Amino acid sequence: MIGELFIIFIGVVLVNNFVLVRFLGLCPYIGVSRDLKSAAGMGVAVIFVMTMASAATWVIYHYLLASGPHNIWFRLFGDGIDPSAFNFSYLRTIAFILVIAALVQLVEMVITKSSPALYRALGIYLPLITTNCAVLGVTVLNVDSFFPGGEAVPGSFLKCLIQGFGAGVGFTLALILMASIRERLELADVPPALRGAPIAFMIGALMSMAFLGFTGLI
Amino acid sequence: MKGKKERLFKVTPAPQLHGGESIPRVMWTVMLALLPAFLASLYFFGWKAFQIEAVSVITAIFTEAVIQKLRGRPVTITDGSAAVTGLLLAFTLPMDVPIWLPAVGAAFGIGVGKHAFGGLGHNIFNPALIGRTFVMHSWLPFMTTWSPPRLAMYAQVDAVTYATPLGAAREAVISLVPSPDGIFSTMDMFWGSIGGCIGETSALALLLGGVFLLIRGYVRWQTPAAFIGTVVLLTWVLPVKEGAIALAPYHHLLGGGLFLGAFFMATDMVTTPVTGAGMLVFGLGCGLITSIVRLYGGFPEGVCYSILVMNAFTPLIDKFTRPRIFGT
């Protein structure tokens, strides 16, 4: 079990890094990577949101959406009805978006109270986590990998948590590397046409090429 | 207290003497250090190796000249940095690549890997390795087809399939795994008469160049020592993937691009940390990633990727290994 969890973690941090291999969450990756401090803050926020979202969506999916003996609707109203009639997994996207939005509101309130400076540094990107494809992506990926055919694999809750946490760590790693590289490039003689976002995308591309080396590790 | 005192550099007020170092001097010295490996590539892979090297070097120089001309910057092709990039890129290609492939790699490496960032001194990643990775993943079959070195070709009739020692161990091709009575022995690996990229097979030639650079002080011991030491230790301690053959640590040492990477690429002055402690961290990271990729990854060789990944870490390493300012 420990080994399995370790493989999930390494897989989502290095081999299938959300930013560098799956190309999810590029908006904050380019937008909040101008300096290390706000990149680190954004990374921590994303780790928190991804882990919490993984836990919350597991509960929602397992008990409310997926068909099977755990489905609450089936337990309440299912006498004599085929369990597969209670398969609501087609509501996955909208249900997950709602959960993530509520979570981000929570994070935002905490950061506003605890660190106004970080709140200002994150700017528009914190509310944007709400609709961040990386966060939705990790919850959908959790369902795809740990609910094959709608039935949860053993230990799926813990696995979802680890995958969510790992995805956040992988995102933070990419973001911090990008921010440190961009800080160094502040004084570089980058051609005017490439300054700002273009060179950031090029750095991202080259980093993706470097991370190709981890292909097949798991 | 005493130890701290000794590590301080003596800084005197002006006037100061110039050390005599310059970019051309460094680059042409590196070129000289690459000479043994160049001769070895000609000896083991013949005329085709020379063609690859020539195309790569000429394209690198040409690309640099065109970009600098277009940007209205002074054209600095005589400083040798583009030539070194081109030659290093050629060294990391197998013998059977089509002749346009080194040109594409060199143009991409110099254009995107170096000049998009502002040219020499500003690039984040090693341009030669960027070029190699680009062609590697664009034309994978060309980059994973190996020809036997010239001497083995005479000895063996059906020389169609061949492999690098690392690749053979990975695929469990027992006849190609180095052994005293196999096709190649450990001594063959040392001299360079094995399958592999044209500039990486001869450990002896690379070692000669590396030691020369160490003596001249252009390469400091921290990076190669940490890099090579970590690889030897980890490949000795860690078990191999299921189905693969375990190689001895000295086979890992001699069989792939470790010497080429550790002495000539992980020591690039621009893309690696500046402090000794940073170099140790850089070498450790390279060794760790190389060992993990070699033992468990999808590719038999990981030197190239490990250096590129650690290049991305370099600004961060520099930030955290910056020496404390005196008096703070």
For residue B145, which amino acid is it? T
Amino acid A87: pLDDT:
84
For residues B229 and B287, the answer to whether their CB atoms sit within 8 Å is yes
Q: Is A184 an interface residue toward B (CB < 8 Å)?
A: yes
What pLDDT, on the 0 to 100 scale, is given for residue B98?
A: 93
Q: What's the confidence (pLDDT) of residue B159?
A: 47
Helix (H) or strand (E) holding A68: none
Residue A57: pLDDT above 50?
yes
Q: Are B135 and B107 in contact (CB under 8 A)?
A: no
Residue positions counted in chain A: 218
Q: Which residues on A lie below 8 Å from B304 (Cβ)?
A: 213
Candidates B153, B114, B100, B126; CA nearest to B282 is B126
In this structure, what token pair is assigned to residue A202?
Answer: 């090029």
Q: Span A192-207, mean pLDDT?
A: 92
pLDDT of residue A201: 94
ipTM score here? Answer: 0.89
pTM, two decimal places: 0.90
Which residue reads 């959960």 in tokens? Answer: A99
Tell the residue number behind the tokens 């290093």, with chain if given.
Answer: B88
Dihedral, CA of residue B29, residue B33, residue B35 and residue B41, to nearest 10 = -140
Q: Which residues in chain B come in under a pLDDT of 50?
A: 1-4, 157-160
Chain B residues whose CB is inside 8 A of the A180 CB are: 315-316, 319
Q: What is the DSSP letter of B188?
A: H
CB contact under 8 A, B315 and A184: yes
Alpha-carbon distance B290 to nearest alpha carbon in chain A (angstroms): 9
Beta-carbon contacts of residue B17 (< 8 Å; ≥ 6 apart): none
Q: Check A209 against B319: CB less than 8 A apart.
A: no
Q: Tens digit of pLDDT for each residue in B164-194?
A: 888 888 777 776 777 766 667 888 888 888 8
Q: Is-contact B280 B226, C-beta < 8 A?
A: yes
Burial letters for A55-70: b for 16+ Cβ neighbours within 10 Å, e otherwise? bbbbebbbebbbbbee
Residue A21 is given by DSSP the state T
A196 and B CB contact within 8 Å: no
Check pLDDT > 90 for residue A41: no
pLDDT tens digits, A110-130: 888 988 887 887 777 777 777
A202 at the B interface (CB within 8 A)?
A: yes
Q: What is the tally of helices (H) and strands (E) in chain B?
A: 16, 0
The reported pLDDT for the residue numbered B41 is 93
